[in-house]
Amino acid sequence: MDATPHFALYAERRARVAARLAPGGIAVVPTAPERPRNRDSDFLYRHDSYFYYLTGFTEPNAWLVITAEGHSTLFCQPKDMEREIWDGIRLGPQAAPATLGVDEAYAVDELDRRLPRLLENRSAVWFPFATHEGLEVRVEGWLRQVRARVRFGALCPQTQHDLCGVLDEMRLIKDAHELAVMRRASQISARAHIRAMQKSAAMLRAGQDVREYHLDAELLHEFRQHGSQYPAYGSIVAAGANACVLHYRADAAPIRDGELVLIDAGCELDGYASDITRTFPANGRFTGPQRALYDLVLASQDAAVTATRPGMRFVDPHDATVAVLAQGLLDLGLLDRNKVGNAQDVIASRAYFAFYMHRTGHWLGMDVHDCGSYVEPSELGTVNERRDPLSGETIRDRPSRILQAGMVLTIEPGLYVRPAEGVPSEFWNIGIRIEDDAVVTPDGCELITRDVPVKADEIEALMRG
């Protein structure tokens, strides 16, 4: 991950943050800590997304400070021959300004000594609230040191602000560089899904014992083969009934002829996530009931895609999905008209919830469930109270976010059928989700994950090959 080519990009983002700190504010942004896994082994390191957004820098133990005047200071690991032999090359503070475009840089050991001086005479301090354990305490410690100097004329910041609000809004609208990386990540993930589908059919045809982890291995192979650093989240490879467990992980269950496999997996590339789900017949041929449910989920996704365009609200693709699913569940006999009424009744009572219990999407970006408010900022004051028909809890609805070009969201309807009285048994234990990543464009949306087929016939054709 070389930050040099996008030098100006990060400087421009820092300048936009600086403009929001005026007058007289200062912002402090740490990267993520290294996290121990067991004994002396750490989890694979992943930088903090906010920090990376403003620096393009992926080393641990680093902090960024930005002033309202646009001055940026980086604190990073000092050069250290001994440590670099064990852990790898460090950029070091001396090279940081030329490489990253920050105005100055110091060794991170100087942070606690320099921060009180940097905070002195500032009106307000901004930092990400409730995202870094211990950060609030650390800032307070620095402020205490500033306060100790007020009798020497120092002014102490009077207010603290959450920097997440500023950064979340910036990150919600992706720029051309971000979209290019996300397209590439999506292409790699699409190839990985194709590889896993083909492997499943080929192994079954050869009479081999196929396990969920075999397909997980195919995903990882394709991710790494094309330069992805790691999966963007824990890959789900769920055989048969396991697909009805929403947060199932790739495990060791056998993948059997005649069952469906649900794979929800996407790579992370240069700090950006992709998020794809496909559900396919393990042997390459849908059965009648599988196909009927699959086509229903796909039709509901089509409706959601049509509702994903500027001016529509974030909730509209979900509502479009639910309308199609409600009607389909009645038509296929999974819901009994005599008990639940027509499609509008099913929507009002949320009777569909037994089979579709999650939302149709989320923002996507550096984090798979990316930051950004789901409430329209210009309508924050409008609140509608209602009682939830299932839990009886009071829900306060605020107007859903209006979609704009440059936002990226997933569109991921599903149906999950557990064995239950009154549900036709041919549908039992079928779990289907279809998930694509959509960039909102000026006149609609672009699905950037469609290099992997989604129509049932196309999936069957692919798996025959």
Instruction: Report in angstroms how near the CB of residue 242 gets to ligand GLY at its nearest.
Output: 15
Residue 264 or 370 with smaller CB distance to Mn ion? 264
Three-state SS at 79: coil
Q: Which does 233 bind (CB under 5 to 8 A by kind): ligand GLY, Mn ion, none?
A: ligand GLY
By a kind-dependent CB cut-off of 5 to 8 A, residue 185 interacts, out of ligand GLY, Mn ion, none, with none
Site string for Mn ion, 132-161 (x = CB under 5 A): ------------------------------
Q: How far is the CB of 278 from ligand GLY (least distance, A)?
A: 12
The DSSP-derived string for 201-252 is: HHHHHTT---BHHHHHHHHHHHHHHTT--EESSPPEEEEGGGGGSTT----S
Interaction of residue 48 with ligand GLY, rule CB under 6 A: no
User: CA Rg, the chain, in Å?
Assistant: 25
Regarding 410 and contact with Mn ion (CB under 5 A), the answer is yes
Selected from 275, 316, 436, 460, the binder of Mn ion by CB under 5 A is: 275
* Per rule CB under 6 A, count of chain residues that contact ligand GLY: 7
Question: Is 437 near ligand GLY (CB under 6 A)?
Answer: no
- Using CB distances below 5 to 8 A depending on partner kind, what does residue 437 bind out of Mn ion, ligand GLY, none? none
Catalytic residue numbers read 40, 247, 264, 275, 358, 362, 369, 412, 416, 433, 435
Tell me how crowded residue 103 is: count the other CB atoms within 10 A of its CB.
16
Residues 6+ apart with CB under 8 A from 130: none
Q: Output the smallest distance, CB 246 to ligand GLY, in A.
A: 9
For the CA atoms of 251, 253, 259, 262, the dihedral, rounded to the nearest 10 degrees, stands at: 0
Site for ligand GLY in 249-278 (CB under 6 A): 264, 275
Whichever of 228 and 410 has its CB closer to Mn ion, that residue is 410
The secondary structure of residue 118, as a DSSP letter, is: H
We find the least distance from the C-beta atom of residue 37 to ligand GLY, in angstroms, to be: 22
- Asked if 360 interacts with Mn ion (CB under 5 A), we say no
Nearest CA among 343, 406, 347, 349 for reference residue 182: 406
Q: Round to whole Å and give the CA distance between 70 and 90.
A: 26
Q: Is 212 in the site for ligand GLY (CB under 6 A)?
A: no
- Work out how close the CB of 315 gets to Mn ion at its nearest, in angstroms, rounded to a whole number: 16
Q: Whole-angstrom Cα distance, residue 99 to residue 94?
A: 10
- Report the residue number, 156 or 238, with the smaller CB distance to ligand GLY: 238
Per CB under 6 A, contacts with ligand GLY among 344-363 are: 362
Window 365-384: contact mask with ligand GLY (x via CB under 6 A): ---x----------------
Report if residue 436 touches Mn ion, rule: CB under 5 A.
no
Element (H, E) at 29: strand 25-30
Task: Report if residue 367 touches Mn ion, rule: CB under 5 A.
Answer: no
Contact 244, 201 (CB under 8 A): no
Residue 56 is encoded by which pair of tokens? 């393009």
Closer to ligand GLY by CB, 316 or 435: give it: 435
Residues 6 or more apart whose Cβ sits within 8 Å of residue 81: none
Instruction: Identify the CA nearest to 395 among candidates 385, 403, 404.
Output: 385
> Closest approach of Cβ 288 to ligand GLY, in Å?
28
In angstroms, the CA 91 to CA 84 distance is 10
Q: How far is the CB of 389 from ligand GLY (least distance, A)?
A: 25
- The torsion angles phi and psi of 334, rounded to 5 degrees, stand at -75, -25
Can you give the binding site for ligand GLY, defined by CB under 6 A?
233, 264, 275, 362, 368, 412, 435
